[in-house]
Amino acid sequence: MPRGGPDRYALFGHPVSHSWSPFIHGLFARQFGHDIEYKLVDVERADFRRAVIDFFVDHGKGLNVTLPHKQAAAEVVNELTPRAARAGAVNTIVARDAMQLLGDNTDGAGLITDLVDNLGVSLEGSRILVLGAGGAVRGVLAPLLRCRPEELRIANRTRERAEGLAQEFGDLGNITISGFADAGGGWNLVINATSASLSGQMPVLPVAAVAPGTVCYDMAYGRAETPFLAWASRLGATRCHKGWGMLVEQAAEAYLLWRGVRPETRSVIEALAGG
């Protein structure tokens, strides 16, 4: 029997203590008068599969999944949405009837909604430089390529990982690869998807990589300016954005999957980024 009380949701990751997701989903729930609980759960790699199954056996309603479990989550579920299958990574799980777990990936939609709808960035025919080739990039490549950029370059410290992604997603558009030092210039949009800023570092890029009109987007967020955006600002870039909008938009897509309604996001982004 399902227990009484609020509908239960959680984020599984390692680490998770820094996450803003409980705050975001709390604001979403308030918009609709929904009674939900959203917990952060630190789950180590070896315990992930068991923890997911236990959560849903115990009538949990939905999960978010973050680093380092997104690829493992794609293996745990019974069914993938087309976008999660293409990404090979899952950030949202919902239980359908009789313990059928559906895995989705809302990261790409979150990024595109923030870039296009919130920030008014035009992607078609543009030249996009993506820094990094890890799990965060895997989730956003297909949605970015579907916006038909002229070129999408993946620059990464480890060249083989960039090559692997270029092979996997090359059918969707024109992907080139490079290291950081030879990342080139004339980019309309530069997205930092490395985890370097978590340790206060940033890839060493050529100064030509950004110009005053380049949109610079860091998937990282936090109160302080990120090393990448600080660097871009020093070079005169005026359109610098932290990833608060992507965070809130991917959460809104997850909420839609779980509860059938899409929350209003602008006020939530302002609450996080504006304060």
**What residue ranges bind ligand ATR (CB under 6 A)?**
67, 132-136, 156-158, 161, 194-196, 201, 203
Tell me which residue has tokens 């600002």.
Answer: 233
Q: How far is the CB of 135 from ligand ATR (least distance, A)?
A: 3
Between 167 and 238, CB nearer to ligand ATR: 167
Q: Which is nearer to ligand ATR, 61 or 241 (CB)?
A: 241
Whose CB is nearest to ligand ATR? Answer: 134
Q: Which two tokens stand for residue 62?
A: 């939905």
* Residues 6+ positions from 195 with CB-CB distance below 8 Å: 67, 132, 134, 136
Nearest to ligand ATR of 71, 118 (CB atom)? 71
Taking the complex as a whole, the smallest distance from the CB of residue 153 to ligand ATR amounts, in Å, to 14
Closest CB 195 distance from ligand ATR, rounded Å: 4
Task: Rank residues 28 and 180 by Cβ distance to ligand ATR and give the closer one.
Answer: 180
Contacts of residues 97-105 at CB distance under 8 Å and 24 or more positions apart, as own/partner, are 99/56, 99/57, 101/52, 101/56, 101/76, 101/77, 102/77, 102/78, 102/257, 103/73, 103/74, 103/76, 103/77, 103/79, 104/80, 104/253, 104/254, 104/257, 105/70, 105/81, 105/139
Amino acid at 51: A
The distance of closest approach from Cβ of residue 141 to ligand ATR in the complex, given in angstroms and rounded to an integer, is 12
The residues carrying an active-site annotation are 70
